[in-house]
Each structure stands twice: as structure tokens, then as C-alpha cells.
Structure 1
Amino acid sequence: MNINSMTKIIGLLGHPVKHSFSPQIHNYLCEKYNQNNIYCCFDVEKQKLKSAVEGIKTFGMIGCNVTIPHKVDIIKYIDQIDKNADIIGAVNTIKNIDGKLIGFNTDGVGFVKSILEKGYALKNKRVLIIGAGGACRSICVELASQGVSYLEIRNRSLDKANQISKTIKNNFSLDVICDTKSIDENDLNNIDILINTTPIGMESKLCPIDENLTPKGNILVCDIVYKPHNTALLNWAKKNNLNVVHGIDMLINQGLHAFYIWTGIKATKEDEEYIKDLYNKM
């Protein structure tokens, strides 16, 4: 990568950010597609978020990604937000267009792309989601956009789940069922797709469901946790001969969509495979 006086910055705003894989994704893409940009991570504490956003304009940055814990708070500091990000109520990608900061959310788009690439259609599918955080919200919006017929959220408390349900009901012709009970075999036998959107399984052997459950149907099991690659949930799925979608697939796909927003360049399947290989070598 040849850094010179014309090089522009793309950044990641979050706290912490030292674990991020995003620089490897975007610096590879910028170099391959001859974009004179460099991607850097910025550890920004909450009280400094406003000045960090002002810096995007001050330094003429192309834009940035936004990660935990700033995806919601950053909305009040930008100029415009796209429709789906507005419905979701969170932004993870910002584009700077002549000093006007526009917010997007690529999390749900990246997740849905991961499923579609496995050859699964989402229209009329029955989906059960574990967790009710920001990732669940963005994924629910995209699943509703794709025409799923049934959507249920299981979470330890109902407050956030009910908020998501209300958002989906107000914007799509779909209701979301919310419950706090543990998932049982009857639940698994009445769905097509199971999705974990919680951090359970990250750097641990914990599983968000009872690993003794034995589903009768051929459901697709998805986990947004990307480290470790094979979480306890995905190992349980494989033991029961179920197809899986790994968290790294969502991470890469949401990154590729952000790159498209910034540059207008659509990365190829070969790019996805190369980036996965980079990740596996870490």
C-alpha cells in the first residue's frame, strides 16, 4: 500500500477496538481495487464520541464503521440516516459526502447475505432468534424485509424483545413473538432457522441452548459469534447433522457492504474466500 499526500482515511469508532478484524478486510480491499485509502481503528470513549464524529468532517475522511458501544448514540451527531438504519435505531457505517455524514446499518444485510449464499431462501421461513440486542434488531428488520412468515425472540427479559416486536409490527406486515422460556425440542421442530445473536459462546464453551436437545427437522443453525470459529452452538448443530452459518460470514459480508457504500465497488466471491483465509491464519 502506497501512502501519500492524497491518501484518505476510513476508520472504526468503538471502545474497545483492539480485537477488530476490520483493518485486514478493508486494507486488503483498498489495495486490490486501487483505492488510495487506509483503514484505521480509533478507540473512542463515550464522552469523546461527538468530537470524534466532528473529526470525520475535519479530516475529510471517506467515512467509518461504528461498533460497540456507539451504534445508537452516534445517530444524534450525524446529518442523515437511511430508512432501514432508522427502523433499526442503530448505525454501524457512516459515509461522508461533501461534509454530510449519512448513516447506514450493514449488520442485518451482511447476515442475510450469509444465509442466501448457503442457498437458503428466506421467504415464508420460520425463524427463532436468541437474544434481543442491537444485532437481533438489525437482523429482524432484514428478515422481515425478506418476507419470513414467523419470527420469535427468546430473551431473558422481555423489555428489549417487545421493543423489537413493536418496531417490526409498525413497519412490516409481521408480528414478532417474544418469550423468556428456554428452547425445547418442540420449538426446534417447528422452525426452519435458529439464530444466536448473544455473545454466549464467545471465548468460552458455553452454549445458548441445552446441548442434549435432539431436533427432528433439518434446521439451519446460525451464530453471529465469530471467535471461536466453531462455537458450542455450531458444534451441537454439526453433531446433529444440521447445516450451519458461521459468525465470520456475517462479519465479512457486512464489511463488504460497507466497502460498497464507501466506494461503489462490489467485492467478489474470491475476495470473501481470501478474507476468510486471512482470518483463519490469525
Structure 2
Amino acid sequence: MKELEEIRKEIDRVDKNITELFEERMKLVIKVAEYKKENNVPIIDSKREKNVIEKNIKYLKDDRYSEVLEEFYINLMELSKKLEKKQIYSKKNENLSTSIYGLIGGKLGHSYSPYIHKLIMEKVSLNGIYNLFELPEKKVKGALETFKIINCGGLNVTIPYKVDVMKNLNEISDEAKKIGAVNTIKFSQNGMSGFNTDYIGFGKMLKKFKIEIKDKVCVVLGSGGVAKAVVQYLKDNFAGKIYIVSRNVQRASKDYDECIISYQELLKINGDVIVNCTPVGMSPEIDTSPVSKEVVSKFSSALDLIYNPIETLFLKYAKDSGIKAVNGLYMLVSQAVASQEIWNDISISEDIANEIYDKLEGKIKS
């Protein structure tokens, strides 16, 4: 018993030292917050956090504690960010305003974007709200000007305005120019800039699920706006052969340099990756698939950019055929994360994207 008491006394001594060092660290955190407040620097810095964890793990003399130390620093930095946020967004800060973000489109219906962006902003300590703005075509230009006047935090763009909004923008990113479509708008002193985060999200999805496309035969179902982003990513990352399948081959041939084939011609193709960029199979029409099980079985990976339902009939065909099946949920989350990075000039860790993905998957399944 006496030995236990001695050990506890040693723990008390160490705890006292930890508390003193904690207080010293928090004072430094407040100084960092004051600098960020004065210089308009975002609270989150995922790269810095990762470096801090890796650096301090190396200081350990006993590797058995590395996992616990990592968890300790993750929690410590969460507390630090909470204190920074309190310091920056205190009631004394009369200049604090809530940034407005949103999605503009023709018919938005039920969208998970507000839920996703809410989670992102909570994770990276951003003060903002994300709304849906359903607009008729004749009001899009005026709405963009209004968003610019009110200093909007940023906008996402969906069907049918991904192409039309480009004529109202001051700058367009290289990938958006090549794709010929914009789904993200950033507002700044220079005006409005357009980006395509579908391109980024598709790439993140391939990476997460370990789908190789270099030198592979890839088939893209559909020829609309999101298909353009997918095709451009495949081209930029050295896909071997790309086939675009369209119900209107002649019309699609005007938009693409790649090989355009009909759904009948697809029956002759054996490939590696098939990507569904059409809305066929989306809820509530869940008993349909853009292609037959016979077609799907000729590939090694099947990707469906639909995320509701989680498993479309197209993906069920893939699973039944014993091939890799991936839905579009991670792409949805990743393009939203990329949008926030663009709007706020920050870097967001993949851990945050993975956590939001898991939460959203559970929400949709429930």
C-alpha cells in the first residue's frame, strides 16, 4: 500500500508539471490566435497539426506509448483550436460576421450539401452557414451579383448552370477550362473565380478505394457535366483508352475528342473501369441500371457517382459479379472539402473527410 502511495505522489508531481506546461502552452495559443485574428489567418492548419504529432512521437524513448501520445496531442490540439476560436470569435469582436455559403441550381430537391458543409465548418472552426438556392435561369446572373455585394463566402453550382455561369466569372481555373464546366465559385476583391471540384473529388475517390486507371481501359456512361470532369481526370492521369457511352452519339461527339460509342456497341467492350455518370438508378427509381449485369461483369471495377441509394442496381450487379463496387459518396464529400479549401485558403486533412464520409454513410443507411 505504501508503495502505491509513493507512485501516486510521483504522478501528482508529474501532473503539476503538466498543468504548468499546459498553462504556458495555452498562453502561447492565445498569442497565435491574436496573430491569426489580426492577419485574417484560418484557425485550422492540418499540415502543421500532423507535423506536431509526428515530431513529438519521435521524442519518445519508448515506442509503446506512441499511439497514446498521438491521441493525447489530437485532443490537446482540439482544445487549442477551441481556445483560439473563443479568442478570435469573442463577443468583443464586433466585426465578426457569419459567412454565407450555398448551392445554386435549377431543382435541388433533397441535398446533403448543407449537412456535409456544416460538419466541415465545425471540424475546422469556421463560422458560416450553408443554404440551398433554387433559381430559375433568368435570375442566376442577378443572384451572382447579389452574392458578390454581400461578400458571400463561396458557392457551389449544380445542374443546369455549371456551364452557363462561366460567362459571368472573372477567372476560371485550368481544370475547369479544360472540362468546360464550373461547380465552385470563389468571391474575392478580384471578382468571381470558377473551379471544378468534381475533378478533385473523383481523384480522391479513386485514391481512397485504390482504383488504378493508368494504362487501363475506362468506360464512362453519360456525357453530361460530371462526365466531363471524370473524362478530364482520366486523360490527365494517363488512362490507356477512354470510351464515352451516350444515347446521342452525334451530339456527344461535338463535346469530346474521345471515342464515343452507343450502348449497343458497349456490349463488345471488355475493360478495366466502368463509371456511371448518369442519374439512372438514383432514388426513388432504384430498380433501374444504365447497363445490364452482362456488361458490368466485363470490368474489374465499377464506380457509380450516385450515392443515394448507397448500393444501386448497377453496383449490385458488380458485387454479384465479384468485382469492386464503389458509390459516389466519397466523391461528394471530397468535392465539398475541396470547395471549403478553395473558399478559405486552407488545407483540410483526409482524416476529416473520412470521418464525415463515415457519418454521412450512416445517416443515409439509417
Q: Alignment partner for residue 143 of structure 2, among 49, 52, 59? A: 52
Look up the SS of the partner of 1:265 in the other structure: coil
State the partner residue of 1:86: 177
1:59-99 alpha-carbon deviations (Å, 9 max, x no partner): 00121100111111111112111111112111100011225
Q: What is the number of equivalent residue pairs in this alignment?
A: 270
1:266 aligns with 2:347: yes
State the partner residue of 1:240: 321
State the partner residue of 1:277: 358
AA aligned to 1:281 is K
- Tell me how far 1:213 sits from its aligned partner: 4.9
State the partner residue of 2:262: 180
Q: Distance in 2 between matches of 1:214 and 1:26?
A: 34
Higher helix share goes to which structure?
2
C-alpha spacing 1:216/1:277, structure 2 compared with 1 (3 Å): closer
AA aligned to 2:363 is K
Q: In angstroms, what is the RMSD of aligned CA positions?
A: 2.1
C-alpha spacing 1:185/1:15, structure 2 compared with 1 (3 Å): closer
C-alpha spacing 1:268/1:183, structure 2 compared with 1 (3 Å): farther
Q: Distance in 2 between matches of 1:216 and 1:72?
A: 34
Q: Distance in 1 between matches of 2:180 and 2:148?
A: 23
Q: Distance in 2 between matches of 1:181 and 1:23?
A: 36
- Tell me how far 1:120 sits from its aligned partner: 2.5
AA aligned to 2:225 is G
- Tell me how far 1:51 sits from its aligned partner: 0.8
State the partner residue of 1:209: 291
- Tell me how far 1:146 sits from its aligned partner: 0.7
C-alpha spacing 1:99/1:242, structure 2 compared with 1 (3 Å): same
1:226 aligns with 2:303: no
Q: 1:109 touches 1:139 (CA, 8 Å); kept in 2?
A: no
Higher strand share goes to which structure?
1
State the partner residue of 1:144: 235
- Tell me how far 1:7 sits from its aligned partner: 1.4
1:21-77 alpha-carbon deviations (Å, 9 max, x no partner): 111111211122111222121111111001110012110012110011111111111
State the partner residue of 1:196: 276
State the partner residue of 1:173: none
C-alpha spacing 1:246/1:51, structure 2 compared with 1 (3 Å): same
- Tell me how far 1:201 sits from its aligned partner: 0.3
1:247-281 alpha-carbon deviations (Å, 9 max, x no partner): 11211111111111112333333322332233232
- Tell me how far 1:182 sits from its aligned partner: 2.6
C-alpha spacing 1:35/1:132, structure 2 compared with 1 (3 Å): same
State the partner residue of 2:57: none
What is the identity percentage for the equivalent residue pairs of Structure 1 and Structure 2? 32
1:170-215 alpha-carbon deviations (Å, 9 max, x no partner): xxxxxx111113366642xx31100111110012210111124573
